[in-house]
Amino acid sequence: MQINRTASAHWSGGLKDGKGLISTQSGALKDYPYGFASRFEGIPGTNPEELIGAAHAGCFTMALSLILGEAGFTAEHMETSAKVTLESVEGGFAITAIHLSLSGRIPGADEATFTELANKAKAGCPISKALAAVPITLDVKLA
C-alpha cells in the first residue's frame, strides 16, 4: 500500500519582503500566508516549523491510539503539543530539537504503562522516523 499526499508553496519577492502561500491537497490549507515575518517575528501567518509540529503531534497521537488499542486500552482523551526549536547554527538555521508534551486520560492505565506505550509511539510514528536526525523528547502525564 502506498499513499501520496501533496502540498505546495508559492513565493514572490525576496526573503524579508517576500510573501508566500501554502496549500494542501485536502484543502485544509488553501493559499495560507507565510513569510519571514510569520517565521521570525511573530506576525500572523504560518511557518514551516509549526506545520512540522502539527504534523508530528497528530501522527504521534494517532500512533499512540493504535498502540493503546493493541494493549487493550482506549483513550478517553489525549492532548499532544509539539515544540519545534529552530536555531541559528554554523552554516545557517536548523531544527535542533522537538519536544512532545502529552496529557491523557486512559481508563485502566497507570502512568508507567502510559509512558511506555507513548515512547513506543514516539519511536514508531512515521513523522518521528522522518525526523530521526533531530533529537525528539517526550513528557507524559495522566490527566
Kindly tell me the burial class for residue 91, based on how many C-beta atoms sit within 10 Å of its own C-beta (0-12, 13-18, 19 or more).
Answer: exposed
Give the C-alpha separation, 143 to 141, whole Å: 6
In this prediction, residue 42 carries a pLDDT of 87
Q: What is the pTM of this model?
A: 0.93
Contact indicator for 7, 31 with CB cutoff of 8 Å: no
Across-strand partners of 32? 22
Mean pLDDT by 10 residues, the chain (143 residues): 95 95 95 94 92 97 98 98 96 96 97 98 98 97 93
In this prediction, residue 60 carries a pLDDT of 98
What the block records as the C-alpha cell of 22 is 501554502
Looking at domain 46-140, which of 3.30.300.20, 3.40.50.300, 3.40.50.10860, 3.40.50.170 is its CATH number?
3.30.300.20
The domain limits of the chain are 5-39, 46-140
In this prediction, residue 76 carries a pLDDT of 97
